[in-house]
Structure 1
Amino acid sequence: MSEDPMVEEFFSEVNDKYYPQVMEGLELLENGDLGQGIEILARPLHTIKGVTGFMAGFEEASHFTHKIEDFLKKVQSGEVDSSPDNVTLLSRGVNMIFQVLEQLRMGDTDTAEREEVLGLIAEASATRQDNGEAAGAGVDTETLNGVTIIKVNEPRVHLDAQFKPIISAILSIEPGDPVLLDLDGVLTFGSGAWAAVASMGVTFRIAACNVSPDAKQTLIGWGFDKTISVYPDRETYFTAQ
């Protein structure tokens, strides 16, 4: 593989560009700057995942990087706790991407360590789902000026029990009617929850207000703002109608 010009060019980019960026991001994580560290890590990991997906013999690196990138997004959104153990696991997984790349380049077929890391990541993700706020606090609804306002009562919306009451409330509304999600008090809103709400944007006119910075970052980062409009508060929303 090492004689392939495309492979050589890719590894040159890895060494000169992506690895230094990753090291910068990991250093920020170690210093407790989780948000900025993850922002810096996201760019090179996304590129590595995409490029290796088209490189013959490096598909496993793309798959592994995708798993690490997914774990990174879950930690970022709060879907997985940003505990010291999970941040350490994230750092280990990111570092291992380069190890996997080198293994595949050299023809090394040993997958034991990467499987161990993926197993730990699956366990960390499942722990949050098992221990997380399984019993949803539900929603309150009201109608104002023809708009159904759904006030979400959960501080974190990630699990089925936490976002299904939102979906049920939307489904009780006539198709085409406007819906405003009031997320005042909601700290984080997972990508899966946003996806479930956004999927209904074809049938309903959905907007959200009082969106926390973390919840908004997840919304925009996954592109769901194309379906769900965001407003600072209720007053701004109704002024814009």
Structure 2
Amino acid sequence: MSDDPMVEEFFSEVNDKYYPQVMEGLEMLEGDAVGEGIEILARPLHTIKGVTGFMAGFEPASHFTHKIEDFLKKVQADEVESTTDNLTLLSRGINMIFQVLEQLRDGDVDEEEQEEVLALITEASSSGQGEVEVAGAGVEVEIRDSVTVIHVKDPRVHLEPQFKPILSAILSVEPGDAILLDLAEVLTFGSTAWGAVASMGTTFKIAACSLTPEAKQTIYAWGFDSTITVYPDVETYFTAQ
């Protein structure tokens, strides 16, 4: 595989760009800046997952990175508690992504170690579920100038009960019609929730406004602004129409 120009170009990007970014993020995980560290880690992992998915022979790396990325999102959304053990496990999984890449290039893959890490991640993820029931505060919907404005009432939108009402409100709109998410009452909006909303952005014309710095950082870090247009506030949105 090492003779493939695409592979060599990818590994050059990994060594020069993605690995340094990941090391910076991991250093923050080991300190007190867990949230900031996760935000830094999000983009290179997402890119590695996507690129390796299209590289012949490197699909296992994409699959493994996808599992680690999911665990990262759960820690970010507080679905998995950010204990020392869980952060150590996350760091181990992230470091192993680069080991898997090298092993695939060399043709010597250690699947046993991968399975061990993924089993530990599954255990850590399941142990944090079902202990707390989260009830979503829901949404309020109004029609203004032919735009469906969805006012989100939850201060924190991370888990399914919190973002499901948003999806339901979107699905009640005709495909192609304009939708504005008003997040004035929202403090944090997790990557899982953004991903669920962004996945509908190809069918519906979705915009969001009044984002806190934390919510804005998440949507840009994960690239969800590609299907969700961001505005400072409601009035700015309607002025721009």
Q: Percent identity?
A: 74
Q: Which residue of 2 aligns with 1:150?
A: 150
Q: Do the aligned partners of 2:100 and 2:109 also contact (CA within 8 Å) in 1?
A: no
| Stretch moving more, 53-62 or 5-14 | 5-14
How much is the aligned-residue C-alpha RMSD, in angstroms? 3.7
Cα separation, 2, equivalents of 1:173 and 1:55: 38
Aligned: 1:41 with 2:36: no
Q: TM-score, normalised by structure 1?
A: 0.73
| Cα distance in 1 for residues equivalent to 2:21 and 2:206 | 37
Asked if the contact 1:78/1:190 (under 8 Å) is kept, the reply is: no
Partners in 1 of 2:106 and 2:201 — Cα distance? 48
Looking at structure 1, the residues matched to 75 and 185 of structure 2 have their Cα atoms a distance apart, in angstroms, of: 20
Shift of 1:172: 4.0
Q: Distance in 1 between matches of 2:145 and 2:72?
A: 41
Runs of 4+ with deviation above 6 angstroms:
7-13
CA change 1:124–1:151 in 2 (3 A) is: farther
1:209 aligned to 2:209? yes
Does the 8 Å contact 1:154/1:186 carry over to 2? yes
Task: Look at both structures and tell me which one has the larger radius of gyration over its CA atoms.
Answer: 1
Give the corresponding residue for 1:140.
Answer: 140
Q: Distance in 2 between the 1:43 and 1:206 partners?
A: 22
Q: Hey, what does 1:69 align to over in structure 2?
A: 69
Distance 1:54 1:203 in 2: 25
- Contact kept, 8 Å, 2:183 with 2:208, in 1: the verdict is yes
1:93 Cα deviation (Å)?
0.7
Q: CA offset at residue 69 of structure 1?
A: 3.0
Question: Please, which moves more after superposition, 41-50 or 63-72?
Answer: 41-50
Structure 2 length normalisation: TM-score? 0.73
* 1:164 equivalent in alignment to 2:191: no
Q: Where does residue 237 of structure 1 map in the other structure?
A: 237
Unaligned runs of at least 5 residues, structure 1: none
Aligned residues: 239
2:150, 2:180 within 8 Å by CA — same for their partners in 1? yes
Amino acid at match of 2:75: V
Helix, strand or coil for the counterpart of 1:179?
strand
Gap change, CA 1:147 and 1:19, over 3 Å in 2: closer
